[in-house]
Structures are given as structure tokens and as C-alpha cells.
Copies of this chain bind each other. A is one copy, B any other.
Amino acid sequence: MSEDSKPLVGIVMGSASDWGVMRAAPETLERFGVPHEYRVASAHRTPELATEWARTAADRGLQVVIAAAGGAAHLAGVVAAHTHLPVLGVPLSGWALDGLDALLATVQMPKGVPVGTLAIGKAGAINAALLAIRILALSRPELAEKLRHFHQEETRKVMEIELTMD
């Protein structure tokens, strides 16, 4: 996290074992210079912590929340139920079913409480950060500019790929 500014994006994950995959989210935010915070808070093992974290998120100055979990992934839904901030969910592959359980448990929210769900795993972690940046960029022209650079760079990298047969 940038030392000198208040976090705009909060990242919460259900278990320390999610960190290996989820660190791609703060790394992406870092790349765009977006201040952020992250921590573990389980919807099931530490429900008070998770709901308190969510309930105070707006007051702490957060603008977007990213929640990641595996298995019966309730964390994003629990967070979305306790804040009015936009909540982005990242389903993680757990111990079986290759992430399908976490995907359905994150995305199939009933009407009234939305979770914007990204892809399973690391691609989702990165994209949650990028979607948070798109949201923040609505009122931060310098971030919009950085997004443009990011996409030009992505384009350039793809265009420079040389496939060879050996």
C-alpha cells in the first residue's frame, strides 16, 4: 500500500491460504498507485470481524471492496450485505470441484444484494483490481489515463509476440 494515502480499495479473503493467489490483486493496485488495504477475515470462523470490517468500510474511506473465498464462498455476499459500497467477488479453487462451488456461491446472489463476480482464481484477482480501478477512474482522470496506458501496453505486448516452431 502506498504509505501516504488512505486506502481506497479494501481486499478481504477467507483464509491465509488464499494469499498466494490473491496477492495478485494488491500487486495490480500497486502498479496503478491505488492505495489499498488487505486482510484475512472469514465469514464463518470470524463472522463478527468480517461484518465489522464490511460495516466500517465506507467510514474508513474505502470506495470498493474485493472479497475472495473458496468452497461455499460466502464472504463476498456477507460483505455486500453489510456495506453499500460496490463489492467485487473472486471465487477461488478450493479442495474439490475446481472452483465451481466458489463460483456459484459467489455469483448466484439473490436480488437485492449484488456481488460483481470475477473469474475463478488469479485471473479473477487481477481483474477485480482492474474493475476497482475502472470504478475509481470515473472520478480520477489520472487513473483513467493509466488505464489507457495499461491497455496500450497490453496491446503492444500481444502484437509483439512471435510464435516459432522450434
Contacts and interface: CB of A to CB of B under 8 A. Distances in A.
Contact-size category for A: 35 or more
A46 B82 CA distance: 9
Stoichiometry (number of copies)? 8
A120 B93 contact: no
Contacts of A100: 97, 104
Contacts of A60: none
A138 B135 contact: yes
Contact of A96 (B108, B113, B155): B108
Nearest to A154: B45
11 contacts: A16-B161, A63-B138, A72-B74, A72-B105, A84-B144, A97-B98, A114-B128, A114-B130, A115-B127, A116-B117, A117-B117
